[in-house]
Amino acid sequence: MDKLSRRQFIRISALGLSALALDPLLAACSQATQTEAGAYPPTQPSPDKAKTTGATPSQDAPSTTSASPPASTPDLVVARGGEPEEMVRRTLAALGGMERFVPKNARVVIKPNICIAYHTYKYAATTNPWVVGALVKLALEAGASHVQVMDNPFGGTAQEAYARSGIEEQVKNAGGEMALMPGFKFVKTDVPQGRDLNSISAFQDILDADVLIDVPIAKHHGMAGLTLGMKNLMGAIEHRTTIHMNLGQRIADLASLFRPALTVVDAVRILMDNGPTGGNLDDVKQLDTVIASPDIVAADSYATTLFGLRPEQIPYIPPAVAMGLGRSDLGNLKIEEIQVGG
């Protein structure tokens, strides 16, 4: 079995019934939770200190058994009003637990957005450190053998960006590993389902992972409209400028290659303008919100509403829907909303 097929096999076993949640026939029977964009609870300040470390990982071979979620499991969960770790834990519990996505002894890669080395997370250009740390803990608690966190910054060095973002500290405190992405580990890779992108230089360790968890921050982007889950996958490839030609379709093509098992959108603090790098706190809006779904298209589609937009206004969402990568019809999805704080 080749490397991509092996990961797909493990994911299928781990997800259990989750694939059914994407079936349009079943989804048509779901009762959607209607939410108006812009209606949010009072915000709470982000934490300044790390929490406790995660569980000790196992070194055995990955198991292909995992608990299947109940038939009533939502397609997408939104948590609001709490501290980042508590919101992450509540969203994952509502989705059936991290065990649904991470089999015992799995090798997990978590891909946040750590694009630049110039700002802390407060400027909303990089993923919230406590969101990432919580996912590391949950993966280890589910029995992952190893959890690596990585990104390929375009502003400053990776070492600088990892430290400046605050993510490195939280990952290490949680028991995970911050991994660099050296050039020699990018390999030419076919994109079998790509409609405009036939091959790309992709990072080997991400391709080899048993489980990929995508953790973008929701932020404005000058070319793509918004950086969300699918756009965040550009950090897993070497030559990003090639994606800017026919941007929408090529981002969707990337999503067809990497297929994260879980997408968790950090909307604790979102960047409303001057993305993707930001630099002005006046452009930042604190929402204290986390969105999670096994459907990357659904997660991205819901996140557009935080900016007063619709899914079809973001160039990579309609092509992804057309390719069968997920769903953007929010009114027909089963969405669970959780109020964590007061």
DSSP 48-110: -S-----PPPP-SPPP---PPPPTT--SEEEEESS-HHHHHHHHHHHTT-GGGTS-TT-EEEE
Alpha-carbon distance of 191 to 157, in angstroms, equals 28
Angstrom distance (rounded) from CA 338 to CA 342: 11
pLDDT of residue 1: 38
Question: What is the pLDDT, as a whole number, of residue 65?
Answer: 43
Within-domain flag for 49:
no
* Per-residue pLDDT, 155: 81
- The domain in which residue 184 lies consists of 3-33+66-339
The total of other beta-carbon atoms located within 10 Å of residue 313's CB is 13
Q: Write down the pLDDT at residue 223.
A: 86
SS3 label, residue 122: helix
Decide if 38 is inside a domain: no
Nearest CA to 38 out of 247, 277, 306 is that of 306
Q: Please indicate, yes or no, if residue 209 is contained in any of the structural domains.
A: yes
- According to the model, what pLDDT value does residue 8 have? 53
Nearest to 149 by CA among 182, 185, 104, 180: 180
Residue 196 is classified by DSSP as: S
Structure tokens at 154: 């375009």
User: Which pLDDT tens digits describe the chain residue by residue (342 residues)?
Assistant: 344 444 554 544 444 434 333 333 333 333 333 333 333 333 333 333 333 333 333 334 565 444 556 678 999 999 999 999 999 999 999 999 999 999 999 999 999 999 888 889 999 999 999 999 999 999 999 999 999 999 999 888 999 999 999 999 999 999 999 999 999 999 999 999 999 999 999 999 999 999 999 999 999 998 888 999 999 999 999 988 888 889 999 999 999 999 999 999 999 999 999 978 888 999 999 999 999 999 999 999 999 999 999 999 999 999 999 999 999 999 999 999 999 986
For residue 249, what is the domain's CATH number?
A: 3.40.50.11440
Structural domain count, the chain: 1
What local confidence, expressed as pLDDT, does residue 38 receive? 32
**Residue at 85 is within a domain:** yes
CA angle 105, 151, 57 (to 5 degrees): 20
User: Whose CA is closest to 260, among 231, 301, 227, 290?
Assistant: 231
| 159 in any annotated domain | yes
C-beta separation of 197 from 253 below 8 A: yes
Answer whether residue 43 is part of any domain: no
Q: Examine residue 214 and state whether it is found in any structural domain, yes or no.
A: yes
Q: Which residue has the tokens 């349009």?
A: 24
pTM of the model: 0.82
Confidence at residue 47, expressed as pLDDT on a 0 to 100 scale: 38
- Separation of alpha carbons 194 and 244, rounded Å: 15
User: Does residue 281 fall inside a structural domain?
Assistant: yes
- How crowded is residue 118: how many other Cβ atoms within 10 Å of its Cβ? 18
